[in-house]
């Protein structure tokens, strides 16, 4: 049952009838949707499988699996909802995580990139002076800059924002699905989402150095 942990921890991209990404769910939930025939599992060629057909597939070495009484069951990477054809939600919620995503975990004052633990939400116009919690008034900042700015406006503190903060236009499912270690199988479904290009550019790892020709 060793592989079971790996399998249950993996996440599954949920797409609608028209193959548009709408959500990310757990492996456990994915099997419920599959078993109850609310969804079909998509293989690497995007062929849709019912639970029975899917269970008959032999897991490939790279597949996450769960252990069952009948052996190893492959956890799908992508699940297609059978009847759901609504479009993905378009309004992204204003949360700490999403602000950090928008700002690519980069302090909007000094440009330093850091882990969420070392970052703060900064109210550009200070909260103590009525600055609202809004996409236009909160930015990601490092602790040093946050402390330095204190309860002042950027002008008063003689600090400058790297970019004007705005509400992101990218699809919320991008924020859910996007992680450097996401399954490659998700990419075709993510790249067509609103804001994918902008979001991807923000997050793209530096390109692999090209081997120099002799
Ligand atoms: Zn900073």
Do 100 and 143 have their domain in common?
A: yes
Four-residue CA torsion sign, 198, 191, 99, 112: negative
CA of 112 to the centre of ligand 1 (A): 6
For residues 101 and 140, membership in a common domain is answered with: yes
**Region 131-153: what's the mean pLDDT?**
96
Distance 114 CA to ligand 1 centre (A): 9
125 and 145 inside one domain? yes
214 falls within a domain: no
Between 205 and 30, name the one with better pLDDT: 30
Of 87-91, 111-115, 140-144, 190-194, which gets the smallest average pLDDT?
A: 87-91
**Span from the CA of 152 to the centroid of ligand 1 (angstroms):** 15
Contacts of 32 (CB under 8 A, 6+ apart): none
- So what's the pLDDT on residue 179? 76
- As given in the structure block, the two tokens for residue 44 are 């690497």
Q: Which residues pair with 11 in a beta bridge?
A: 26
143 C-alpha to ligand 1 centroid (Å): 7
Phi and psi based region of residue 139 (left: phi greater than 0; alpha: psi -120 to 50; beta: remaining): beta
67 lies in the same domain as 115: no
Give the Å distance between the CA of 120 and the centre of ligand 1: 10
In this structure, the answer to whether residues 67 and 5 fall within a common structural domain is yes
Q: What is the CATH number of the domain that holds 141?
A: 1.10.30.50
Domain of 69, in residue numbers: 1-90+170-204
Q: What is the mean pLDDT of the segment spanning 104-124?
A: 94
Comparing 14 with 1, which gets the higher pLDDT? 14
Same domain for 119 and 136, yes or no, is yes
What's the gap in Å between 8 CA and the centre of ligand 1?
38
3-state SS assignment for residue 78: strand
Looking at residue 213, what is its pLDDT?
41
48-54 CB contacts, 8 Å cutoff, 24+ apart: 48/80
Alpha helix (H) residue ranges in 73-181 = 96-102, 143-149, 154-157, 172-177
Confidence of residue 2 (pLDDT cuts 50, 70, 90): very low
CA-based torsion, 44, 49, 53, 55: positive or negative: positive
What's the 90 CA to ligand 1 centre distance in angstroms? 30
41 DSSP β-pair partners: 49, 79
**Rg over CA atoms, the chain:** 21
Distance 14 CA to ligand 1 centre (A): 37
Q: Count the domains in the chain.
A: 2
How far, in Å, is the centroid of ligand 1 from the Cα of 209? 28
Q: State the distance from the centre of ligand 1 to the C-alpha of 113, rounded, in angstroms.
A: 8
**pLDDT digits 0-9 by tens, 146-184:** 999 999 999 999 999 999 999 988 888 888 887 777 898
Give the DSSP H/E element, type plus range, for residue 15: strand 11-15
Are residue 6 and residue 62 in the same domain, yes or no? yes
Confirm whether 29 is domain-assigned. Answer: yes
Residues with CB under 5 A from ligand 1 (ion): 107, 109-110, 142, 145
> How many angstroms does the Cα of residue 142 sit away from the middle of ligand 1?
4
Q: Are the C-beta atoms of 68 and 56 separated by less than 8 Å? A: no
């Amino acid at each position: 049952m060793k592989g079971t942990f790996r399998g249950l921890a993996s996440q599954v991209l949920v797409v609608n009838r028209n193959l548009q990404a709408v959500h990310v769910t757990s492996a456990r939930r994915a099997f419920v949707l599959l078993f109850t025939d609310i969804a079909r599992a998509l293989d690497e060629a995007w062929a849709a499988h019912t639970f029975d057909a899917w269970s008959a597939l032999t897991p490939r070495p790279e597949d996450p699996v769960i252990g069952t009484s009948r052996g190893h069951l492959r956890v799908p990477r992508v699940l297609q909802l059978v009847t759901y054809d609504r479009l993905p939600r378009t309004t992204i919620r204003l949360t700490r995580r999403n602000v950090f995503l928008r700002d690519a975990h980069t302090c909007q004052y000094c440009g330093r990139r850091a882990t969420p633990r070392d970052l703060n939400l900064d109210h550009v116009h200070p909260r103590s002076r009525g600055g609202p919690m809004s996409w236009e008034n909160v930015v990601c900042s490092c602790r040093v800059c946050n402390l330095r700015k204190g309860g002042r406006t950027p002008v008063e503190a003689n600090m400058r924002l790297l970019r004007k903060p705005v509400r992101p236009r990218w699809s919320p499912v991008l924020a859910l699905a996007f992680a450097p270690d996401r399954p490659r199988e998700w990419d075709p479904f993510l790249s067509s989402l609103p804001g994918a290009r902008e979001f991807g550019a923000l997050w793209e790892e530096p390109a692999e150095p090209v081997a120099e020709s002799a």
